[in-house]
Amino acid sequence: MPAILPSRRSILATLALAAGTAAFSGTNAANAFTRAHPDPTKPRTKPVIFVVGDSTSSAYQQSERPRAGWGQALPLLLGPQATVFDYAWSGASSKSFADAGLLDRVLALMQPGDYLLISFGHNDEKVADPARGTLPGSTFKEYLGRYLDGARARGGTPVLVTPVERRRFDSFGNAKDSHGEYPQAVRELAASSGTPLVDLTASSKQLWQDLGPEGTKSRFLFLAPGQYPQYPQGSEDNTHFQALGAVEVARLVARELQSKQIVPPGYFLNIDAGTEPLLEMYWPSERPVDLPVTLDAGPGTTFTTVQSAVDSVPEGSLQRTVIRIRPGIYREAIRIPATKPRISFIGQGGRPEDVVLVYNNASGTPKPDGSGNYGTSGSASVRVDGPDFVARNLTISNDFDEAANPGMKDRQAVALHITGDRSVLSNVRLLGNQDTLLVNSPGAGVQARFYFDNCYVEGDVDFIFGRGTAVFSGCDIKSLDRGSTTNNGYVTAGSQDLSIKYGYLFDRCRLVSDAAPGSVHLGRPWHPSGDPKAVAQVLVRDSWLGPHISGTPWTDMSGFSWQEARFVEYNNRGPGSQVTPDRPQLPGPEAGNYTVRNYLQGTDGWAPQLAGSTADCSVVPAEETAA
């Protein structure tokens, strides 16, 4: 999809309004939905390099990839001694950034030993805009002085960075200056205040000169139509960078920080290391500075049900909506329609068991309006069709009682039915019996991707099923005991279209059960309505398999042979991991083609597994906080 962004002025108005009132919890309010954050007042084990500036240094979201700022690329060059938090704001000047309260937000996070890289100028030059324009000899220096004083008051080291040059050449191919008096004003302020200086204006101009008019196009955002799905019409941008350019500019910054001994030796160990920025850089789901809408659901809040909070979200919103759910049991059927993207469910309890979203419809349960039964897909306790969904620290359950309904013919009961592409679930429990988790997509041949990180899924028959592409990373997969000594069910029933290369990946998971040894199958091929093109793809790799897994773990379904499906294992261990002729193994040379990255990247390069890693500049990582 093309990059769709709110206007700069609308963001400015929102931030200015929220600056004095918004609670700034964790390390970054805009990313509070993604994962738990440390208390920023606690001492960190590593210093943080904070980056503030404009669009040339800022971090961009997934829908804008491969556009990137040099601050977003800086983590790729670091060694283990420090981390980066990029709070630069596209369109900002030194004035508008401070006036919107963003400087105060960053300073509130700084601790002694941290660094603040300050790079403005592009938008200070827009003197016709009273919200942004400054004068190089007066107001520009005055505003920059606030950054210097604030960082020092927090025990940090401010570093002034002159603005990176635009792509400007004369008719002879000579790189041109584009910032007038602003770079010199930064140099003068650095000298008069004793502040370390990175002269990025000079070094970037020399780099553009060396590359020339044609060579610079691969660094700036020059994209052919259709080259990236985010830019179907292509792009010709002489100011902003694609990933390669962002990395090269970051190298200029890092080299000067190192050569001038602004940072200690060893901070930037990877300046000259070969990188694949498109694969190694992290694009968050939203820009770090984009404030989400936060709603509270539960007893004593405006929204007593989760569904009422969802209903209040406007359709097509470009902002994330974080629904913080208080501890309790929420017995309701919850629906997030496709028209409501970027919704997060965040359980506020200490454990995922403390927040339970549960209902008890089954496939054969009659609808209240008399129009028939719910059917398997309609039985879900929670259904998510909106893309970019996030859930963390909660339980989703379907507690339909099979034993109490022996006369019901269709007793499949789904806990979660999800079709929204680019969804991430972390520390979530999914509970049911038959058909617990339906990982689906909007239609046959349409890919939808889901990342389950450190989750728990339990059920018995086909309890992970559907045509979606799903990665289960570090998850516990529990098969319930149905009381049989020979057949206690099937973990998966995939139905991926043949055009979809990747189906289910179980990576570093634990498959456990109390069921009899050898009584559970890893999966069987589900061909909905007999569709011959729906050919399951399942890989179980680097995982621990309990004794309940059958020695012949794949089996036929509805007349379709498991041998015609795409079932494979790789490097598993545990008592249920024996290798036999009935257990296809992924050849070693192909292992690198079936990784978490390959399953999830699609055509737009989605890489949620990088969140919280050393490549992530959108938060102060939790692991960097001292215990």
Cβ atoms of residues 266 and 280 within 8 Å? no
Between CA 370 and CA 390 the distance in angstroms is: 34
Question: Cβ contacts of residue 294 below 8 Å, gap of 6+?
Answer: 32, 321, 322, 324
Query: Cβ of 554: how many Cβ atoms within 10 Å?
Result: 25
Between CA 105 and CA 103 the distance in angstroms is: 5
- Catalytic annotation, pick one of 37, 122, 240, 527: 240
Cβ atoms of residues 528 and 534 within 8 Å? yes
Cβ atoms of residues 182 and 124 within 8 Å? yes
- Catalytic annotation, pick one of 55, 379, 479, 577: 55
- Which one-letter DSSP state was computed for residue 255? H
Amino acid at position 624, single letter: E
- Catalytic annotation, pick one of 142, 214, 236, 564: 236
Using CA of residue 254, residue 107, residue 289, residue 603, what is the dihedral sign?
positive
Strands 544-545 and 510-513: parallel
Query: Cβ of 503: how many Cβ atoms within 10 Å?
Result: 26
Tokens at 469, concatenated: 């592409």
Tokens at 552, concatenated: 């012949």
Q: Which of 395, 380, 373, 384 is nearest to 419 (CA)?
A: 384
CA dihedral 472, 489, 517, 562 (to 10 degrees): -80
Between CA 114 and CA 95 the distance in angstroms is: 23
Between CA 481 and CA 462 the distance in angstroms is: 14
Phi and psi angles of residue 205, each rounded to the nearest 5 degrees, phi first: -60, -40
- Which one-letter DSSP state was computed for residue 304? S
Query: Cβ of 300: how many Cβ atoms within 10 Å?
Result: 7
Query: HSE on the CB side for 370, CA within 13 Å?
Result: 0
- Which one-letter DSSP state was computed for residue 227? S
Cβ atoms of residues 401 and 360 within 8 Å? yes
Query: HSE on the CB side for 567, CA within 13 Å?
Result: 25
Question: For the chain, how big is the Rg over CA atoms in Å?
Answer: 27
- Omega prior to 341 cis, within 30 of 0: no
- Which one-letter DSSP state was computed for residue 303? B
Active site residue 240: yes
User: Helix count (H) and strand count (E) of the chain?
Assistant: 12, 31
Active site residues: 55, 236, 240
